[in-house]
Structure 1
Amino acid sequence: MVTIDVNMDLGEGMNVEGQVMPYISSCNIACGGHYGNYDSIKETLLLAQKYGVKTGAHPSFEDRENFGRIHLDWNEARFRESVSKQIQQFHDVALELGMTMHHIKMHGALYHATAHLPEYVDWTIKLVRDQYPDVKLYVPSDSLIEQELKNHRLSYLQEAFADRRYDGDGKLVPRSKPNAVIEDVSKLVNQLSMMVHEHKVICIDEQEIPLNAQTYCVHGDNLSIVHNFNEVITALNLNRIKIG
């Protein structure tokens, strides 16, 4: 049996936290960019505390209308001001509850920008180095940000997505494309099992590519999966995988 970390984006207004918190091992909590405020952060943190789930800040482009999934043309000052503010809000609530920030994971379009665009990678490295040098970043495997975190000896975990399809370059298929999101339990379990046991993934064009990860994401707004998460757990166990 292999034990893995499964993280989920929560505190995003989907009201699924009570369903999934007993089963996952870490969560990324929206902190004011695409969703979230003091009350939602606190409520989600308290549930995580109850079930022993590791918690992290989930900052994004400040664009609630598009749920943080559209790229905004920020400069470095705007990036630093907004991301710092969001993370600080999460940190302050966690501190109030006697909890610590285990990790930071960017959301949506900001996740992709900070993983692959050189200027956003540079801004992220500076921000983490200056303000959060001991906090892990969850970042995509084999990305530019991973290489720069390694070069600067900053802490991170490689992340893979259990409920998203990949293209041949190892990047996520955009949500605007058909079949970008895996909503079937058996397909998700098959993909995740291959990632865990074989360290590879079958892309949307059917080719196999290598993929290494230490944490695996399932999205909290993927309701077809979330509402059947007990089936996911059962199927993973049959595939010699447990979450912990």
Structure 2
Amino acid sequence: MDVTVCNMNGFKVFLFLLFAKCVLSDQGALFEPCSTQDIACLSRATQQFLEKACRGVPEYDIRPIDPLIIPSLDVAAYDDIGLIFHFKNLNVTGLKNQKISDFRMDTTRKSVLLKTQADLNLVADVVIELSKQSKSFAGVMNIQASIIGGAKYSYDLQDDSKGVKHFEVGQETISCESIGEPAVNLNPELADALLKDPDTTHYRKDYEAHRVSIRQRSLCKIVELCYIDVVHNIRAVAKILPSTAFFTDVN
């Protein structure tokens, strides 16, 4: 079922509920809620929903996450040498293929820990600044990486006007872990300019000694921003579907 049907006049609520049940189901037909302990079921349902809704459903406040566009972001990558990345038009792909790696729901404390793993590709215009030398270099950066994004949040169960229970998702705390070293590629002109500049040559040994941690920290600054939208979409869907549509063992 294509999400564009949500733009049709009339029966919008009915059609969206039907859409949501379809994309969260195992077979794409009737939705079967998962146990909070069934990671395989949760992963399957999440994957199918992300594939269908990844481009967003504006009328239900579901944001696009694949591709996810970040207009601008500044990352202080390594203070010792004054290295700052100024990203523009950051394009992130791969979030629609994220898979649940850990899910823990404490029904007594009403809290959730969610972790998903994804292989991401990021492309952006970038200005690489060496603030201590008052120098900057402009070009294009491409990053490929495997990550684990995490979110902790509280929840509550609230009755709507018809007495139907819905999850109310609280404020999230985002975490990120880079799996191994991210692969970073620069366009040839930028790479050549950095290679030939005397100040970057001076700092190269220090940079190389800390390269992996610099890349991982910089990547996670981007990922943490992305996962705010991921959790936002969880919150948006929870407002639409009853709590029984998600879990068989939460009431």
Which interval holds the TM-score relative to the shorter structure? under 0.3
Larger radius of gyration: 2
TM-score normalised to the size of structure 2?
Answer: 0.22
Higher RCO structure (Cα 8 Å, ≥6 apart): 1
- Which is strand-richer, 1 or 2? 2
TM-score normalised to the size of structure 1?
Answer: 0.23
